[in-house]
Structure 1
Amino acid sequence: MKLWKTAWRFLPLSLLLFLTGCMGETNLTALDPKGPQSQWLFDNMLLSLYIMALVTIVVFAIFFIILAKYRRTPGDDTIPKQVHGNTALEITWTVIPIILLTILAVPTITGQFMLADTEPDPEIGEDTVYIKVTGHQFWWQFDYEDEGFTAGQEVYIPVGEKVIFELHAQDVQHSFWVPALGGKLDTIPGITNHMWLEADEPGVFKGKCAELCGPAHALMDFKLVALERDDYDAWVAGMQEEVDVPTEGVLAEGRAVFEANGCIGCHAIGGMGTAAGPALSDYANREVVAGYLENTDENLEAWIRDPESLKQGNNMPAFPDMSDADMEALIAYLRSLDVQN
């Protein structure tokens, strides 16, 4: 009786956890595959589920048949026929699991070779996109080394093409994961891992760090943006161009604030500055601030003034004493950084 009472106490918590899982973000799920990798993972998961369901149904059917047919009745002391040593039965219940495991093993093994094949697609050849990914506490750096620029927090790829990712970590172990497009792979300091992803259709796909990496691990999000090839090439061309430095008006004031406060020492813009922090060349098109907050002026100001309160353990310095005029000019300048126009 005490056991049942304890179970009932945990029922509301269990329902809450279940509902929390149902209310996940759009695209942050492996159950709506948008690429060949994620489709393979989804199909293999369904195959496993079907086999487990079949085994469960058969076992319970046999169980209830035996309960009904061979149940002991009052006055009946007969012993049912024993099957110990029955060679045919023993072969049967040995062979059936082997067959089921083989059904699971064949697609699993062939799929592993498919997932591990990080050679470029022959049909794409020299146009294959290579992206170097570096995990930081707590943001993502994307280096397009062949194209000669760096992006931060948002990675762009062309639709329908195999894109090769080279994975690194700057500080601690992270894990690169875009659930709608494929599985996860760790980024480990001192070790280089490789993986590939492909998107079947244009869209914005949410990504996560899937390895506990510090106090703000849960907020280490990023976006993968899949574009048609022409749109992707246009974005690349925009990222490769030098960003014009404004010389007058509020944008010039904002640029001056950006430089005077040392922001350019960490945030590269159009080939200028460093990548110690996320590059900001295309900041106007970012959907979020700090990887997870809606990109509004209020959230951006709150982040600049006190980043630690919004993302614990990050390395960005705070600017609590920046004047309202300087803050307004700085935000206006960041909003002007748009390589897609």
Structure 2
Amino acid sequence: MLKNLLWRLTPAALVLVFLSGCLGEENLTALDPKGEAAQWIYDNMILSLVIMTLVSVIVFAIFFIIVVKFRRKEGDDELPKQVHGNTAMEITWTVIPVLLLIILFIPTVTGTFEFHVDADPAEHEDAVYINVTGHQYWWQFDYEEGFTAGQEVYIPVGERVVFELNAEDVIHSFWVPALGGKIDNIPGVSNALWLQAEEPGVYLGKCAELCGPSHALMDFKVIALERDEYDQWVDDMLAVEAEETAANAEAGYEVFQENACINCHAIGGEGMATGPTLTNFGDRQKFAGVYDIDDDEELANWIRNPEELKQGNNMPPHDISDDDMEDLIAYLRSLQVRPADADY
């Protein structure tokens, strides 16, 4: 019997083992909060679990006691004592759930008002304010300073950062598990939330709303820097110009221009931003949100046939020769604003 039980539990145990491996991937977990909002969610989750566990233990204990103590015995045909209409018992099992709900209600309501913000820059003059637009399937981050970043958003440590959330096409949902909750990006509607990172680091974000065939690949990163490093990054982003960035990869810049990449991918304020901005492409860890940026072969495959790697995206394929592709990738690698000795 024990052998059969273990055999049945093995699949569930394996699932838990694999899921536990996901918890360590760049803070993609709500169980290791790194910000005030995330800590509030975690504390309320623990409070709910404690209450539910307490109620479950008491209910099951009473259930088993009743099953054992009041089970029908042989020769006992008397009608058990009836408790229907017992005022004391009815008051008890009505008041206790109400009290438990009040315990959950108070922190939930107070926290909801605490973390609610208006999507109006004028209301947040002392905070970093970033406009987030969800696209199929990438994220656009527009800073008040006048530049745009794609797929990776930089924030200062220890400060509240207000995100205004919008969508270009369908409903998306902006979620950074280690820093806070999730709110939908809805076309034509501006929502907002604030996040605060308590320590420097890279925090993985996800789209939490099914938005198409490549929804699972719609990742982004939040990179939290100390204030002086953040200010330097902002200055560097503002100083970038496409031709200057191309100084070490002039041939690749020509390929970039000849293939009309600039029509969709802006660099240093030059070009259109219908696709992810490439100003600091060389600083990123991933391209297309999920693929290793150091993999030249994968990057070439993405440029030539993006639909194969990310179904449903709006990037057209490009027929580029091997030599031109090598130059183009060299140019893309040169798009950096982060100093070589930077820690972030």
Shared fold, TM over 0.5: yes
Match of 1:252 in 2: 250
Q: 2 CA distance for matches of 1:103 and 1:249? A: 62
Match of 1:290 in 2: 288
Alignment of 1:65-144 (within 5 A): 65-118=65-118, 126-144=125-143
C-alpha contact 1:155 1:224 (8 A) present in aligned 2: yes
Q: 2 CA distance for matches of 1:189 and 1:119? A: 14
C-alpha contact 1:246 1:252 (8 A) present in aligned 2: no
C-alpha contact 2:135 2:167 (8 A) present in aligned 1: yes
1:16 Cα deviation from its structure 2 partner:
5.8
**Which residue identity lines up with residue 256 of structure 2 in the other structure?**
F
Q: 1 CA distance for matches of 2:227 and 2:21? A: 33
The answer to whether the aligner puts 1:237 opposite 2:235 as a matched pair is yes
Classify the secondary structure of the residue corresponding to 2:189: coil
Match of 1:313 in 2: 312
Match of 2:212 in 1: 214
1:78 Cα deviation from its structure 2 partner:
3.1
Alignment of 1:29-68 (within 5 A): 29-68=29-68
Q: 2 CA distance for matches of 1:305 and 1:231? A: 36
> C-alpha deviations, 1:34-87, integer Å up to 9, x for none?
111111111111111100100011111111111222222222223333222221
Classify the secondary structure of the residue corresponding to 1:32: coil
Q: 2 CA distance for matches of 1:80 and 1:182? A: 54
C-alpha contact 1:250 1:329 (8 A) present in aligned 2: no
Q: 2 CA distance for matches of 1:199 and 1:248? A: 34
Q: Pick closer, same or farther for the CA change 1:149–1:12 going to 2, 3 Å.
A: same
1:242 Cα deviation from its structure 2 partner:
2.9
C-alpha contact 1:118 1:196 (8 A) present in aligned 2: no
Q: 1 CA distance for matches of 2:97 and 2:115? A: 27
**Which residue identity lines up with residue 135 of structure 1 in the other structure?**
G
1:210 Cα deviation from its structure 2 partner:
0.9
- RMSD over aligned Cα atoms: 2.5
1:20 Cα deviation from its structure 2 partner:
4.2
Deviating more after overlay: 304-313 vs 240-249: 240-249
- Aligned counterpart for 1:178 among listed residues 169, 176, 179: 176
Deviating more after overlay: 240-249 vs 293-302: 240-249
Q: 1 CA distance for matches of 2:262 and 2:131? A: 22
Q: 2 CA distance for matches of 1:294 and 1:59? A: 51
TM-score (norm 2): 0.90
C-alpha contact 1:289 1:299 (8 A) present in aligned 2: no
Q: Pick closer, same or farther for the CA change 1:112–1:126 going to 2, 3 Å.
A: closer
Q: 2 CA distance for matches of 1:150 and 1:69? A: 70
Q: Pick closer, same or farther for the CA change 1:13–1:315 going to 2, 3 Å.
A: farther
Classify the secondary structure of the residue corresponding to 2:249: helix
C-alpha contact 2:252 2:324 (8 A) present in aligned 1: yes
Unpaired segments ≥5 residues, structure 1: none
Q: 1 CA distance for matches of 2:321 and 2:302? A: 15
Alignment of 1:192-203 (within 5 A): 192-203=190-201
> C-alpha deviations, 1:102-130, integer Å up to 9, x for none?
1111111111111213599xxxx744111
Alignment of 1:318-333 (within 5 A): 318-319=317-318, 321-333=319-331
C-alpha contact 2:242 2:270 (8 A) present in aligned 1: no
**Which residue identity lines up with residue 73 of structure 2 in the other structure?**
T
Classify the secondary structure of the residue corresponding to 2:224: strand
Deviating more after overlay: 17-26 vs 201-210: 17-26
The answer to whether the aligner puts 1:303 opposite 2:332 as a matched pair is no
Q: 2 CA distance for matches of 1:315 and 1:101? A: 47
> C-alpha deviations, 1:267-326, integer Å up to 9, x for none?
11111111111111111111112110111222211111111100011111112x312111
Q: 2 CA distance for matches of 1:13 and 1:97? A: 36
Number of residue pairs aligned between Structure 1 and Structure 2: 332
Q: Pick closer, same or farther for the CA change 1:251–1:162 going to 2, 3 Å.
A: same
TM-score (norm 1): 0.91
Identity of aligned residues (%): 62
